[in-house]
Copies of this chain bind each other. A is one copy, B any other.
Amino acid sequence: MAKLSDVAALAGVSVTTVSRVINNYGSLSEKTKQKVFAAMRDLNYQPNSLARSLQGKQTKLIGLIFPGVSNPFFGELVQDLESQLFKRGYRVILCNSIGDAEKERAYVRMLLANQVDGIIAGAHNLSIPEYQQINAPLISFDRYLGDNIPIVSSDNYDGARIATSSLLDTGAHDIWLLTGANRPGNPTNDRLRGYQDVLKEHQLTPHVIELPFSTAPEVKWATLKRELAKHVPDGVFATDDMTAIMVMQIARTLDIKISEQLRIIGYDGTNLTRNYYPELATIVQPIAAISSLMIDLLLQRIADPDTALEDRYVLPVRPYAAQSLLGK
C-alpha cells in the first residue's frame, strides 16, 4: 500500500504539502493540488485510517448493537442505518447480541477499544450498568440504557391503542395480546399499556401471553397452538409481525377462519411483511425516520459531546390495513 511519502515523492512535493492537500488546510496553489491529486490517483493511494485516527482524527466508525439482523425488522433498520451512515462518511461495525448480555458487554468493550466515534444500540438485554460509563456518544433504540442516553422509539403506546382499537372496531371483544417479556423501564411496555388502557375503557378483560423475544420459533409455535386449541379469541394483537404471522399459520392448521372468526394485527410493518404478507394488518414503525433521527442525534453528540438532547424521542406510527388477497 502506497503511503504518504510515496505520494509526496511522486508528486515532487513534501509530505507536509500532501497532508495539507488531504486535510485541506494552509495555503495551496491550484497547481500543486492537482499534482498531488494526480499522484494519489496514480498510486491508488488511500490514507491509512489507523494512523489518521491514532493521530487524533475520528475513526469514522460507528458501532451498531442489535439483537440480530436475521430478524426482518432489525435487518431493515440496520440496513437503513448503514446506508445513511455510509452517505455521511461513516462505516459500521455490526454487533449481533442475540439476547446475550455477556456478549453485549464484550461488544461494548470491543467497540471502545476500536475507538468507534459512537454507538447505536437497540439490544434486547437488560440495561447494562456499563452503558452508563461509556463516554462515547451513544443513542438507544427503544430501550432505557441509562441517564442521558437518548431513546428513540416509535409511539408504542399510540400504536398499541390503534391496533387494539382497530380490532374492537371490527367487532372483536375477546382480544389477546402477544408480547415479548416486559421489563421495567422499557418503552415496549407502552404497547402493553396501550392495549390495557383501551380494553379498560371498554370494560373488557385483557389476556396477555408473554413470549420472550428469544423464544425458539418451535416453542413459540407449540405454546400458541396450545393456547389457541384451548380457546379461540376473536382478536389477537401481536407486538411483532412475525408472531402475528405465526398465529395466522396456526389458525389455518386449526381451521380457524381468519378475519371472520379471528382478526389479527401485528406490529412493525416492515417492507417484508407489507410486500410478502399484504393480508396482515399491522402498525408501521417509521424505520427511515427512526434511523435518520438516531443518526442526527448521534452525529450531534459526536460533533459536541455536551449537546443537550431530550431523553425521549417518539416518532409517530401509522396503521397498515390488511389488503385482503382473498377478496374477489
A54 closest partner in B (C-beta): B50
Query: A48: which of B47, B75, B113, B245 is its contact (CB, 8 Å)?
Result: B113
Size of interface on A: residues with Cβ below 8 Å to B: 59
Residues of B within 8 A of A59 (CB): 50
Q: Are B94 and A92 in contact (CB under 8 A)?
A: yes
A75 touches B83 (CB 8 A): no
Chain B residues, CB < 8 A from A276: 217, 242, 245-246, 249
Of the candidates B54, B83, B249, B277, the one whose C-beta lies within 8 Å of that of A51 is B54
Residues on B with beta carbons closer than 8 Å to the beta carbon of A307: none
Residues of B within 8 Å of A148, CB to CB, are: none
A98, CB-defined interface residue at 8 Å: yes
Most B C-beta atoms less than 10 A away, residue of A218, A242, A253, A326 = A253
Q: Interface on A for B, CB 8 Å cutoff?
A: 1, 46-51, 53-54, 59, 61, 64, 68-72, 75-76, 78-79, 82-83, 86, 91-96, 98, 103, 109-110, 112-115, 217-218, 221, 242, 245-246, 249, 252-253, 255, 270-272, 275-279, 325-326, 328
- 7 tightest Cβ-Cβ pairs between the two chains A and B: A46-B113, A217-B275, A75-B75, A69-B69, A94-B94, A70-B79, A70-B76
